Amino acid sequence: MTTTKINLPPHLCEYLRGKYGDFKPDPIRLPDHTDLYHLIFDLLERRPAGCAVDRGNVEIVLPRRTEGKRPETYNYLGVRSQRIISRRVETLMWAEVHDLLDTLKHRDGMDYKDAVCLFIRRYGIESLSEDAFLKNYYRWRGKMRRCIKKRKNQA
């Protein structure tokens, strides 16, 4: 098992640990059917000569495929690769939050605040407040459901 460490913002680190790591400090093993697994596999490169040992707040088990890059040789994720992974994880998290809030509100009739609390507890996120999740959702909803033209009040 070959691993590498990357730096992610704290809320994304907590999200990955909650989603794939069972809240343990062990290295995170991504399922091979996820897009994130294949993204990391595509971004792996040879470690540059004289490169320092990896440091970061998330340790990830490197993908091991039967064909292609061998993790013993291709085990380095550069700064650019870490930025790409961070953006992808953030997109995944916010998409899941938006979907969960819409589903729980319209299917189960749950309040948005309760749905956010459920998401925070499900993944053990402590770095962001409930208000941050709610504000992000309201901004997204406003952009996605914006009316083209407002009707005049007919009284």
Q: What mean pLDDT comes out for the span 88-110? A: 96
Lowest mean pLDDT among 42-51, 69-78, 103-112: 69-78
* Both tokens assigned to 42: 């595509």
Helix axes 79-108, 130-144, angle to 10 degrees: 80
pLDDT band at 71 (very low <50, low <70, confident <90, very high): confident
Contacts of 124 (CB under 8 A, 6+ apart): 14, 17, 18, 23
CA R_g for the chain: 19
- Position 149 scores a pLDDT of 64
Helix axes 130-144, 112-123, angle to 10 degrees: 120
pLDDT band at 3 (very low <50, low <70, confident <90, very high): confident
* Both tokens assigned to 43: 């971004």
- Report the C-alpha gap between 55 and 107 in whole angstroms: 43
- Position 137 scores a pLDDT of 96
The helix or strand, by DSSP H or E, that contains position 13, with its residue range, turns out to be helix 10-20
- Position 100 scores a pLDDT of 96
